[in-house]
Amino acid sequence: MDDAVAEHNSPLRILIADDSDSDRLILKTLLKRLGHEVLDVSNGLDAVSVFQQEAPDLVLLDALMPVMDGMEAARQIKFLAGERLVPLIFLTSLSEAGALARCLEAGGDDFLGKPYNRIIIEAKIKAFNRMRLMHQTLSDQRDLIRERNRQLTEEQEIAKRVFDNVAHSGCLDAANIRYHASPQSIFNGDVLFASPRPAGGMLIFMGDFTGHGLPAAIGAMPVAEIFYGMANKGFNGQDVLREINQKLKRILPTGMFCCGAMIEADFKLNQVQVWNGGLPDGWLIRSSGAYLALQSRHLPLGILSPDQFNADFERVATGPDDRVLMMTDGFLESADRAGNVFGEQGVTETLERLDVGDHPFDAMMFAVHRFTGNFEDGDDLTLCSLEMMDEAGLAALPDRAAPSALAGPAEWRCTYEIRERTLGEFSPLPLLLHICMEVPGLRRKSGEIYTLLAELYNNALEHGVLELPSEWKRSPEGFGRYYAERNRRLANVEGHYIRFTLHHSLKPDGGRLRVVCEDSGRGFDFQNHPSVAPGSSPAESGHYAGRGLLLLKRLAETIRFHESGNHVEIVYDWRLTRTAGDRDE
C-alpha cells in the first residue's frame, strides 16, 4: 500500500510537443513545478523519436504542428507504446467537435484547452497516472499469471516423467489389450495399469481419482507402485486392491478418493474376476455379440477402513475371444458442442448395434468421436478392452527384472506351514516365491517357480484339504457350484494344514530346488491316476486334475507322490545361462 501511494506521487517523465515556444515554456515550467521530469520538442516528428528513445510516462501533444502534426504523431506513439498504456493528451484551442473527435480517433485520451489552468493540468495528470498505474498492475498480474501457468505446466511435465517411470505401461501393449488414454490423462486423475501374473493371466487396474492436476496425479504414484510391485510377486487382485485401498485411505485427504476397477483374467481357466468400485459399468462382450454389464458394487478406493473394505470379486466364466471393456467417467461425460453428454445411453446403443465382426473398442471410440465431433487427442477419456485368448499367443510379454549381480543365498532349507482358519484367508504363494527369488539364478524363473508352487498349493487346498472334485469346473453350472462349495468348506477346516518344505542347493552350472508339499487331506490313489500311470483309462476323478499334473511334469525334473498321495515332492533344476542371448526357452 505504501508503495502504491509512493508511486502515485512519484515524478513522471512527461513529453511535451508544441510548436509555440511561449506555450511550451509555460507548460514545461508548470510541470516542473509539480515535480515532473519534462522532455520538450516543437514538432510531431521529434515527438515520435524522443518517445522512442526516452519512453515517457505521459505525452502532451499540440494538435497542429509543422513537419508532422499531432494526429499523426499520436498514431505512431500509440503504436510504439504497444501494450503499455501511455496517456496522450491533446493541447488545443480547437473547439470544433469534428476536430476534437479526430484527435481521439488518432489515439488521444483527452484534451487540455488553452489558456492552461494549472489546477486542471495537475488534476488530469494525476487522474491519468492512476489509470496508467492500474493498467500496469493488471499487466503485471497477467504476466505473473502467465508465468505461474508456465511453471505449472513445466512442473506437470516433470511430474509426468516421474510418473511414467513409476507407472510404466506394464503389459498394456500386449496383443489382447486395446486402450485409449490421453497423454495427459494422469492430470485428469485417470490411471490404467496392466501386468502379467507370474503364474499366467493378467491383472488390469483402471482408476479415476477425484480432482484434477497434481493432487490427482500424486495419489496415482503409490497405486502404480503397489500394483506393479504386488502383481509381479504373484499377489492376486484381491490382495492388491486391499493394499491400494488401505494406502489411499491413509494418505488421501478426506473427500479425495479413487474410483477404480480391477480385472483378473485367467486364460487357462477361461474366467475373469472383476471388482468395480465407482467406475461406470464395465462390459463383458461375448464373441457371439451378447453382452453383460459389470456393475460397480463397491465404494471407491480410499474411503473405507481396511476392516470394512470388501474385496470380493465377481467371477465370470468366459470363452475364447470374449472381451472385457472398462471406461472412466470421462468417457460417459464426453460432450458435443451443445453440451449433451454421450452417457450410458451412448454406450448401450453402441453395444446394441455391434456386429459380430466389430471390435467393441473400435466401435466405442468411433461412436464417441462421432458424437462429440472431435477426432483430436484433446479428450480426457480412458477406455480399455481386454480379450480372452490362449496364453501361448502372448509369448511376447516383456521380461521382468534383469538378474541381479548380487550373490544371494544358495544353500538353504525352510519349512512353512499354514493352518486352519488361515487356509481360507491367506495365500502363502507370494511369500514362498519371494524366498525363492532371493536366489539370483532363480529370479529369471519366477514364472515357472510360481506355477509350480501355485499348482502344488491349489491342489493341496482344493482337492487335498477341501476334497473338491475338479470335474465340476467343466460345466457352467458346476463352475458356480464349485466356488460356492469351496467357500463353504473353507469355513470348516479345523485341524487342517498345508506344509511346504523348500530346499535349495547348488550344482555345477546351476542349482536344484526341491519342494515338498504335504497336506492334511486323505490323499488320492496316485498309482492309478491317468496322468501318473499313462495307458490307463482317462477317468477324471481324483486328487489331481490331469492338466495340473501334466504342467508339473513338464516343468519339474521329477515328481513323486508319497504316503497316501497327500505328500508330493518335486525337483526343479536350473542352469546358468552363459550369454545374455542364450535363453533356456
Q: Which amino acid is at 209?
A: F
Give CA angle at 527 (522, 529), nearest 5°: 85
**Interface contacts to other proteins, rule CB under 8 A:** 19-23, 25-26, 29-30, 33, 62, 64, 92-93, 114-116, 118
* Residue closer to other proteins (CB basis): 36 or 514: 36
* Residue closer to other proteins (CB basis): 95 or 579: 95
Residue whose entry in the numeric block shows the C-alpha cell 484381491: 238
Query: Least distance from C-beta 68 to other proteins, angstroms?
Result: 14
CA dist., res. 194 & res. 275, Å (int): 15
CA dist., res. 168 & res. 421, Å (int): 38
* Residue closer to other proteins (CB basis): 115 or 534: 115
CB-CB contact of 574 with 583 (8 Å): no
* Residue closer to other proteins (CB basis): 63 or 570: 63
Query: Least distance from C-beta 137 to other proteins, angstroms?
Result: 33
Q: Is 493 helix (H, G, I), strand (E, B) or coil?
A: coil
Alpha-carbon torsion angle 13, 16, 17, 21, nearest 10:
-140
Query: Least distance from C-beta 94 to other proteins, angstroms?
Result: 8
CB-CB contact of 476 with 317 (8 Å): yes
Q: Is 298 helix (H, G, I), strand (E, B) or coil?
A: coil
Q: Which amino acid is at 15?
A: L
* Residue closer to other proteins (CB basis): 62 or 239: 62
* Residue closer to other proteins (CB basis): 114 or 489: 114
* Residue closer to other proteins (CB basis): 92 or 470: 92
Task: Provide the terminal-to-terminal Cα distance of the chain, rounded to the nearest Å.
Answer: 76
Query: Least distance from C-beta 38 to other proteins, angstroms?
Result: 13
Query: Least distance from C-beta 93 to other proteins, angstroms?
Result: 4
Query: Least distance from C-beta 65 to other proteins, angstroms?
Result: 9
* Residue closer to other proteins (CB basis): 115 or 339: 115
Query: Least distance from C-beta 64 to other proteins, angstroms?
Result: 6
**Alpha-helical runs (H) found in 354-475:** 360-372, 422-425, 429-437, 440-443, 446-458
What number of other Cβ atoms are within 10 A of residue 416's Cβ? 13
Query: Least distance from C-beta 46 to other proteins, angstroms?
Result: 17
Alpha-carbon torsion angle 263, 265, 270, 273, nearest 10:
-30
> Angle of helix 118-166 relative to helix 21-33, nearest 10 degrees?
60
Cell of 482: 464349485
